[in-house]
Amino acid sequence: MPDLLASALDGSSVATGAPAAASSIGAPTLIWRDGEILRDGVSHRILAGSIHYFRVHPDQWEDRLRRLAAMGANTVDTYVAWNFHERVEGDVRFDGWRDIERFVRLAGDIGLDVFLRPSPYICAEWSNGGLPSWLSGRVAALRTSDPDFLAAVDAWYDELIPRLVPLQASHGGPIVAIQIENEYGSFGSDAAYLAHLREGLRRRGMVEMLTTADGITGDMIEHGSVPGAMATFTFGTGVARAVELRREGDALMCSELWGGWFDHWGERHHVRSAASTGGTIAELLAAGGSVSLYMAHGGTNFGLWNGANHDQVLQPTVTSYDSDAPIGEDGTLNEKFHALRALFAPFHAAELPAVPAAPRRQGAATAPLEPRAALLELIATLPVTGDVSPRPRTFEALGAEDGLVAYEADVSFPADAMLTIDGLHDRAVVFLDRQKLGVLERDGETSLALPVDGGAGRLTIVVESLGRINYGPYTGEGKGIMRGVMIGRRLVNGWTHRLVPQDAPVPVPGGSADASDGVAVASFGIAEPLDAWLAFPGGSKGMVWLNGFLLGRYWKVGPQETLYAPAPLWKVGRNEIVVLDTDRLGSTVEIREEPSFGDTEEFIGS
Query: Which residues are part of the catalytic machinery?
Result: 183, 256
Cβ–Cβ under 8 Å, residues 214 and 254 = no
Q: Give CA–CA dist 211/184, Å, rounded.
A: 12
Secondary element (H or E) of residue 428: strand 427-432
d(CA 443, CA 496): 25
CA atoms of 11 and 228, how far apart (whole Å): 6
Cα 318 from Cα 169, distance rounded (Å): 36
Contact 329, 320 (CB under 8 A): yes
Calpha distance 582→405 (Å, rounded): 12
CB environment 551-585: b (16+ within 10 A), e (fewer): bbbbbbebbbbbbbbbbebbeeeebebbbbbbbeb
Query: How far is it, in rounded angstroms, from Cα 80 to Cα 340?
Result: 26
Measured between alpha carbons, how far is 383 from 2 in angstroms, rounded to an integer? 58
CA distance 525 to 323: 31
Identify how many contiguous H helices and E strands the chain contains and give both numbers: 13, 34
Secondary structure (DSSP) of 75-134: EEEEE--HHHH-SBTTB---SGGG-HHHHHHHHHHHT-EEEEE--S---TTBGGGG--HH
Three-class secondary structure of residue 342 per DSSP: helix
SS3 for 284-313, per residue? HHHCCCEEEEEEEECCECCCCCEEEEEECE
Pair 212, 231: CB distance under 8 Å: yes
- Judge residue 192's burial from the number of C-beta atoms within 10 Å of its C-beta, 0-12 exposed, 13-18 middle, 19 or more buried: exposed
